[in-house]
Structure 1
């Protein structure tokens, strides 16, 4: 009992010390409360103190996080293992500045620093450097990227623009998912879950083996069945969905050369509700689209180290077919990148490269009008992108460095774009660093905005008070693209950051930013009514609502991340995001609510607690508060995830995971789809049991 009282007293005193540290005494605390790595617990919790982590996403070369002049956060293997999560979007909830919300059972809205929603197109998502956005709306279908967390080495998240190195779409941030490479130690890893609610069941298996001298390979298989969410509207039904994924990889290392070849296949089966417009009461109803999505990818990465620097070659190919009862959508991507990174003398580091991407896509709906209300012409389209980029990092003094980056993109569906950046890092003390950045970035052209398109979104019943013929005819409204050459969104960004890492038990990372956007999508006005006939022969009036990109917007925000280990058995992390939005439209109107920029909360707070109860028992908790979505009338909510894990031996462990707990309403809405919204779904508490068996551990 005395031992537990001492531990409790030590933790309480440490929390008081933390308060004064943040307020006024960081250096004094670092001197008096320093801990060596030997004092930490035997689990790799020190890996959660991210400052010395090596990252590549900010500058496309290896550097430590604390020396990176960008707002970067790393979700490591230990983060993924300790959290009560099973997918990538839920993992991204840990990151300050990221907005993650569940729309339906198989849809997520993921964004950074605003401009969010299910169809957000301002976040570049990569898997091992391979871009995974879909050219239909330039966003990500997260259900198609349902990678097992056991196959992920880490996730690097850069908030803020990264277009000078990564190209278009890296407007508000970059998510680079870095997968595990084959391991020389042969072994088998198995994992199974069973539960009730969103996580019904899953099975994962991975085999690593040595193929010959200097080479290793792996094969992993993952299948998951997910439960339906409950709709607010009792007439709307949610559906289960399931996914399967096969990944494989081979790595060869010899002297200065490293070759990685990976390939994989996925399949997703789901039922998604869309809002189908009618010409009679109730004027709209859910259209349940039974969807079968299949795809494969292949990737080759080659690195060659020389005494002057490193050559890097990346070649990718992927193909996805989406056969549904409401639409057909297929896309094929081929891209290649050639990069060199090396020193120019003792004070300069240069990264330069060439990039090329070719995309083919095909979109169509059933000819009998039974599909979703989208018209897209031409149905088949191809596009090309060619890019050249460089970034030069110059050491101005032992404590000051500057990076200048520039990228030129030439896209066949849009205009050429130049994306520059200037970043400065100033180390004022061995434990303190300031950095600042000024950058420009732009979005990627999408099929919806760069083709002749029309999206029917509402039907108005006949108005008896109006003059004929409108008094006897329903009116169909559609969002239309007038000239099929939409201007891409442009961003000018200013950032100022501060990092503090006095010891291995405390770190602080704070960022202030201001984003100024041009060419935000808005409504230009309405066109002339046009009499049309439906497939069933019923007459109606069609009124096009023309969209344009004349909107402007400013975001100011603050992001904070604190990490602290108050005692040997306990690790704490707190993050906060505050976002302020100002917007306006020139020669445009948003009175009909088509601006999709307001679908993110203005504040978020997250507290993580990782507690080693004893050598066999872990209790890990994440508590989060998310502000209201004022544009869509989605209220704020607070919830918690808890994981209780018991290690039976070095190879076998079992855990009980509970999610979405402690909300006062027990069920809540996180987000709604911006268009074709058939109705909102609620998130409810659920639990699942997880068993892990790793034969590679001794």
Structure 2
């Protein structure tokens, strides 16, 4: 049924092929222009570091901009796969539909120190912290760029932007006109397809809409190579409507809806024989969002932006061994207003107000595995931020002071300031430094979780996880120093170093043992989340680019990370060793001819002993042929250097180890 559905969608997407095939005119002007503008990081534009557009070369943060052209040439079929190209990010796939993504340590399936945004809408899940990547998707062709800030972004974006910010920015409707269709099939990609159409209403109004579908095969279990039972399928659609009613105003309305099925194979524990067993976990998810935006320019030196959005998500997990269900629904209402004012030649102020209301409801009859103290919780965030950019010497010295003051219903008021310095000794060099404070507030799971049988110590002793209503925020003081240089017009080097001091980190602590007389006699050993860990991390991230010829460019990334933790945390060693010390990648992007291109990405990832993962080397290849002005054909091979390998384990207690397999797929892209 799945393959039939995919075939029908693919067929509808490819109906215009015959008419287009006769058009052999090949216009490379637009593609060459895109590559010339995007290949050099120093010349790229970034918004997320300061909430206004500026060049990467003049930014006082460790920032990387991944362009839409880069994403296409990488052969990525999902946003997490595309993020593997970003220096300093640790991207590890757990199974077919689950990733662990973090920066500067603390990686996990629920990595909770990275704030993820899409067009300014937060994707951070308030029920458990972190990002459910399988539910956060869009048409990759519609991604203009992905901006990644490594290091705190809390002064601009608020709590939970502790180790970094990922901002996915989609293209304007004006830049997505006409028809775009794509379809593909492969060894792991059972099939995928998408159609987008963009048009114009009147002189100043543009629109676009899209629909996409994909089905992905299962991975293999480590050791025996059996089916990991983690197949994944997803259907999504969306729209964007933009207009400029006056010369000073622009309006945007956009939204998405989606639904999908994502299975996983897990160990389940219960105080009943056989105590520990495999179980297939079918998970269904759905959701939608709508966002409105108003931009108004008062003068050339003053402008404002107002964003309003509503987001609904629903995740239902069926513990099939006992047919218990856990259903979580989250409704988020958000308002964000920002004003920017250039006071004179020396001061530029950016300030704003934010309000967020969240209604979260968890209904479960899976009491052994997942439950909350209260079925519903309403949360409010109120925030104010202010930043002043002071130019001490034009094109030489600039200092930035900013802070965000927030109030949340978990920990009350939080203050997150930062100070940054930018020095440009010459037009091709930049030195920057920063000191920042950021916090991560508790989530519903850390605060309200009542009981989860998460592990078996012996035949009659089980671990029972419990939330802690007394948790305080995790706190970070970060020190950063960076250097950028462009020795020639064909080479660039970007170095970022950091030293982070963490306080009040969440760790596992033991409670008192007790006996449950209502079940088979056993001892429950409660474990609770506590602020019982502290520590520091330090490291360096290096990115170099070389335009060997007009048709060939190279990019090399290297990341070094060291984590040192202390405290009373039972899980300290796992946390300390859940990120690789070393990562390296080399990307070769070559236009072999005007209608042929080849991209090769070689990656080395060091061992992750806290997750029982060895080091590995892998390579992805993509070859494309521009058959005509309107038709592009591509073949992509992924993880080509071995048959299969694991990248991360969800937990030593709860998830069998899945292995990412070698795969090949073919794709066709149409546009007219």
Same fold? TM cut 0.5: yes
Deviation at 1:184, TM superposition (A): 6.3
Distance in 1 (alpha carbons) for counterparts of 2:32 and 2:241: 34
Deviation at 1:490, TM superposition (A): 0.5
Distance in 1 (alpha carbons) for counterparts of 2:576 and 2:357: 29
Q: 1:301 aligns with which of 290, 293, 296?
A: 293
Distance in 2 (alpha carbons) for counterparts of 1:691 and 1:203: 9
Asked if the contact 2:574–2:610 (Cα under 8 Å) also holds between the matched residues in 1, the reply is no
Please show how residues 55-134 of structure 1 align to structure 2 within 5 Å: 55-134=46-125
Unpaired segments ≥5 residues, structure 1: 1-37, 463-473
Report the counterpart of residue 29 of structure 1 in structure 2: none
Report the counterpart of residue 292 of structure 1 in structure 2: 284
Does residue 1:225 correspond to 2:210, yes or no?
no
SS of the counterpart of 2:645?
Answer: coil
Deviation at 1:642, TM superposition (A): 0.1
Deviation at 1:444, TM superposition (A): 3.1
Asked if the contact 2:625–2:632 (Cα under 8 Å) also holds between the matched residues in 1, the reply is yes
Deviation at 1:294, TM superposition (A): 1.0
Q: 2:204 aligns with which of 214, 219, 243?
A: 214
Does residue 1:351 correspond to 2:350, yes or no?
yes
Deviation at 1:233, TM superposition (A): 5.5
Distance in 2 (alpha carbons) for counterparts of 1:186 and 1:280: 60
Distance in 1 (alpha carbons) for counterparts of 2:484 and 2:125: 35
Asked if the contact 1:192–1:691 (Cα under 8 Å) also holds between the matched residues in 2, the reply is yes
Deviation at 1:581, TM superposition (A): 1.1
Query: After alignment, is 70-79 or 374-383 more displaced?
Result: 374-383
Aligned CA distance change for structure 1 residues 449 and 42 (closer, same or farther; 3 Å): closer
Asked if the contact 1:310–1:341 (Cα under 8 Å) also holds between the matched residues in 2, the reply is yes
Please show how residues 12-411 of structure 1 align to structure 2 within 5 Å: 44-183=35-174, 186-197=177-188, 199-232=189-222, 234=224, 237-253=228-244, 254-279=246-271, 282-307=274-299, 308-326=301-319, 327-366=326-365, 373-398=369-394, 399-411=396-408
SS of the counterpart of 2:243?
Answer: strand
Does residue 1:455 correspond to 2:452, yes or no?
yes
Asked if the contact 1:596–1:674 (Cα under 8 Å) also holds between the matched residues in 2, the reply is no
Distance in 1 (alpha carbons) for counterparts of 2:141 and 2:276: 42
Asked if the contact 1:523–1:594 (Cα under 8 Å) also holds between the matched residues in 2, the reply is no
Report the counterpart of residue 10 of structure 2 in structure 1: none
Aligned CA distance change for structure 1 residues 497 and 296 (closer, same or farther; 3 Å): same
Please show how residues 422-501 of structure 1 align to structure 2 within 5 Å: 422-462=419-459, 474-481=460-467, 483-501=468-486
Asked if the contact 1:41–1:569 (Cα under 8 Å) also holds between the matched residues in 2, the reply is no
Q: 1:606 aligns with which of 568, 585, 590?
A: 585
Deviation at 1:241, TM superposition (A): 1.1
Deviation at 1:270, TM superposition (A): 1.8
Does residue 1:667 correspond to 2:657, yes or no?
no
Asked if the contact 2:532–2:569 (Cα under 8 Å) also holds between the matched residues in 1, the reply is no
SS of the counterpart of 1:93?
Answer: helix
Report the counterpart of residue 572 of structure 1 in structure 2: 554
Deviation at 1:282, TM superposition (A): 4.8
Deviation at 1:489, TM superposition (A): 1.0
Deviation at 1:280, TM superposition (A): 5.3
Question: Deviations 1:608-635 (Å, cap 9, x if unpaired)?
Answer: 0001111111110110000110212210
Query: After alignment, is 130-139 or 675-684 more displaced?
Result: 675-684
Aligned CA distance change for structure 1 residues 43 and 440 (closer, same or farther; 3 Å): closer
Report the counterpart of residue 683 of structure 1 in structure 2: 660
Asked if the contact 1:105–1:238 (Cα under 8 Å) also holds between the matched residues in 2, the reply is no
Q: Report how many aligned residue pairs link the two structures.
A: 633
Unpaired segments ≥5 residues, structure 2: 1-28, 320-325
Please show how residues 505-516 of structure 1 align to structure 2 within 5 Å: 505-516=490-501
Deviation at 1:272, TM superposition (A): 2.2
SS of the counterpart of 1:89?
Answer: helix
Asked if the contact 2:649–2:655 (Cα under 8 Å) also holds between the matched residues in 1, the reply is no
Distance in 2 (alpha carbons) for counterparts of 1:525 and 1:390: 42
Distance in 2 (alpha carbons) for counterparts of 1:66 and 1:475: 57
Does residue 1:630 correspond to 2:609, yes or no?
yes
Does residue 1:589 correspond to 2:575, yes or no?
no
Question: Deviations 1:192-242 (Å, cap 9, x if unpaired)?
Answer: 111111x22111111010012200000011111111111125476323210
Aligned CA distance change for structure 1 residues 452 and 690 (closer, same or farther; 3 Å): closer
Question: Deviations 1:330-369 (Å, cap 9, x if unpaired)?
Answer: 10000001110120111111100000101111113225x5
Deviation at 1:271, TM superposition (A): 1.6
Distance in 1 (alpha carbons) for counterparts of 2:492 and 2:370: 50
Deviation at 1:595, TM superposition (A): 5.3
Asked if the contact 2:515–2:521 (Cα under 8 Å) also holds between the matched residues in 1, the reply is no
Question: Deviations 1:374-397 (Å, cap 9, x if unpaired)?
Answer: 232112111000000011000011
Question: Deviations 1:420-441 (Å, cap 9, x if unpaired)?
Answer: 0000000011101100000000
Distance in 1 (alpha carbons) for counterparts of 2:478 and 2:525: 38
Question: Deviations 1:401-434 (Å, cap 9, x if unpaired)?
Answer: 0000110010012231100000000001110110
Distance in 2 (alpha carbons) for counterparts of 1:312 and 1:403: 21
Distance in 2 (alpha carbons) for counterparts of 1:266 and 1:499: 41
Deviation at 1:599, TM superposition (A): 1.5
Distance in 1 (alpha carbons) for counterparts of 2:393 and 2:128: 45
Question: Deviations 1:526-554 (Å, cap 9, x if unpaired)?
Answer: 313223333xxx23221212331121110
Aligned CA distance change for structure 1 residues 594 and 532 (closer, same or farther; 3 Å): farther
Distance in 2 (alpha carbons) for counterparts of 1:287 and 1:300: 43
SS of the counterpart of 1:66?
Answer: helix
Distance in 2 (alpha carbons) for counterparts of 1:263 and 1:250: 9
Aligned CA distance change for structure 1 residues 593 and 425 (closer, same or farther; 3 Å): closer
Report the counterpart of residue 35 of structure 1 in structure 2: none
SS of the counterpart of 1:44?
Answer: helix
Report the counterpart of residue 532 of structure 1 in structure 2: 517
Asked if the contact 2:289–2:309 (Cα under 8 Å) also holds between the matched residues in 1, the reply is yes
Deviation at 1:520, TM superposition (A): 1.4
- The structure with the larger Rg is 1
Deviation at 1:457, TM superposition (A): 1.5
Deviation at 1:593, TM superposition (A): 5.5
Report the counterpart of residue 15 of structure 2 in structure 1: none
Aligned CA distance change for structure 1 residues 108 and 185 (closer, same or farther; 3 Å): closer
Distance in 2 (alpha carbons) for counterparts of 1:168 and 1:186: 37
Deviation at 1:247, TM superposition (A): 1.0
Asked if the contact 1:236–1:679 (Cα under 8 Å) also holds between the matched residues in 2, the reply is no
Distance in 2 (alpha carbons) for counterparts of 1:79 and 1:351: 31
Asked if the contact 1:625–1:639 (Cα under 8 Å) also holds between the matched residues in 2, the reply is yes
